[in-house]
Structure 1
Amino acid sequence: MLRAAAEVIDEVPGALHQFGEDDEAELMATLLRLQGRSSQVGAIVAADAVDRGVLVGSDAANTSQWISGRLTGGTRLEPKAIRVMASVADACRHRKNTVIGQALLKGSCSVESARTALLQADKVGPVIPTAERDEVLSWFLQVDPALGCDGLTRLTRAIIDRFAPEKLSQDDENLEGTESLSWSTTATGMTRLVAELSPANAAILKEAINAKSAPRPANPADGGRGATKERLEAPSARGHGSGAAFGLNLDDDTTDSPTASGQPVRDERSPGKRRADALMDLVGAGARAATGDGTQASAATVLLTMGLQELLHGHGATTSTGDVLDAGAARRFACTADLIPVVLGGPSQPLDVGRRERLATRAIRVAVILRDGGCTFPGCDRPPGFCEIHHVTPWWAGGKTSLTSSAMLCGRHHQTVHRQGYTADIQPDRVIWDLTPGRMPGHQTTAA
């Protein structure tokens, strides 16, 4: 029956002219179901084959090779898909992963989601030792399948932040040390950038690009390309339940915009092209700032959501894209990102509404540059163009934006200061750092 079904599928392309629109929609739904279900059943079959000793009697060295050896004729499957299926099959053979095997039998989770759940459960287990592995796995399997592997990964970070925020900070600090950026030339002459960034730095990049990549009206005189004029709405703060929200409301309207003649003209750039243009705009702005008067604009606009108590007690925050950041990154953003902070408590009651002036003004920034000359952390020689303005007494601990509460720090040492809770004594002509952990105002609760 399965072989007959495969033959029928092979005949479908030549018979498409016989299908109506409704027939094609039903056909696509059936093909998608077959594709997802076949990978689930494939993992179960591979696990059963290994248990029966089929692998031992073959020339394959492992489950992945055994699956690859079953590809016949013109069948093609990505090596990554085979590796994922093999790893899930191997895991299903263990009693501790019975929940995953049952989910695959029922068809309630994809093979990719099963693989991610297995990996993330190993990270969550040590954080909640009282929870059974089956219970932890069931948490991940209850996540909306539409969220995919990203949703499962975010759940892991949220759980770790809830039960062991210090571990999340340590993990992210380790990730920052392994960040990389590389590029290569493609066959078409294009350059491909490949970046692996920690969650905090990735959040800055994604928010900055998203803010500048919204569709813009096209100018016929420019050959139909998007106009260069940016359209921004007034800043607005948006709360999410009982938490703190920081953000700038950018015009993300995707509808047509009228030209001078009254005729709507679409922004014909693809989403990828808009993001590429936004990246180049950001690079150009950074280059102009570095070669100009030495001042630096604020970092990207980042929307963070957290409760006041979570902020004070060292828990992380969630970005508008759902990424969970550790407490150190959240507090660093409170210093540098272009934010509109609204700290909420109880049933969304405003406790403190900040303003854009919470960031260092141009005059203060220039004065700090003249006084500090670059990163003030002991032993660091990074110039002002690579530095950010740090609030010695953070705004969330009652600090104010002033020359006597500001110090220059490079990105790396800014992270270090917030994670370790260092403080400093601001002198008229220099900054003296106290590298005793936990001395930063408001950081004692985190250290405890």
Structure 2
Amino acid sequence: MAAKLKAALAPGRRPGVNASVPPEEDKRSMQARGADQLDAILDAYLAAGNVANRRGVGSVVVSMTAADVDTLSADDRFATNTGHLLSPVDILQLGMAQYDIGVVHDADGLPLHLARTRRSASLAQRLALFARELCCTRPDCTEAHCDSDVHHLVAWAEGGNTDIENSSTVCRPHHGDNNDRHDGSGGLGHLATDPDTGRVGWHPPDGGPLRFNETTFQQYSAGAKIRRARERSGGRENFRDPEEPPPLFDIVS
């Protein structure tokens, strides 16, 4: 693998490759040329014909509301399924503009209700959960959607349906310590839906009230933005991003 990677990066070391200037004017460092070549390799893979066979895996998905689109500014940042924040310029550079805006419908389009016909969530359901929750729903967790599982709130083994109302996003460690019997045994709590708001939270094993994920990262989700708008009077400020982005975005991963 290391040999293949080095061979694939080698063409980018030449002056002028992946550059907008002639070779004689290319002043990039070797590290910058390597990064640009890697970016070109990723672009080529994501644009290849096998994208249709990935069923959304390996795709960058951006979460935003209709209000975000109507009042877009260069300073806005939008969360993705990979756990990164992107600016409008970043999104355009990804090439997403050619696809316009994608909307997941629960009544007139993509199937969000699979009942007992299928245990695994569909791509449409995963996209809907990403828009609603963005990351793991356990309190204080910021694990990105693409590194998480779709969890049956009422377990499949207990007769739970593969429907959007019975699903939530849970990272793998938290998925493993969820008590599917909902009885607090083993000192484990469980995820459940708040009957008043429809929001998924975590019940501690002692039977205490639901606790929700209120991390800064989760506040970037379209669902959180809409909740803030409902709680306050109208106005663009209700849809703005949190003032301080999560610390994890200061790290290049």
TM-score tier by shorter-chain length is 0.3 to 0.5
TM-score, normalised to structure 2, is: 0.33
Greater per-residue helix proportion: 1
Structure showing greater relative contact order (alpha-carbon pairs closer than 8 Å, 6 or more residues apart): 2
Tell me the TM-score normalized by structure 1. Answer: 0.20
Larger C-alpha radius of gyration, 1 or 2?
A: 1
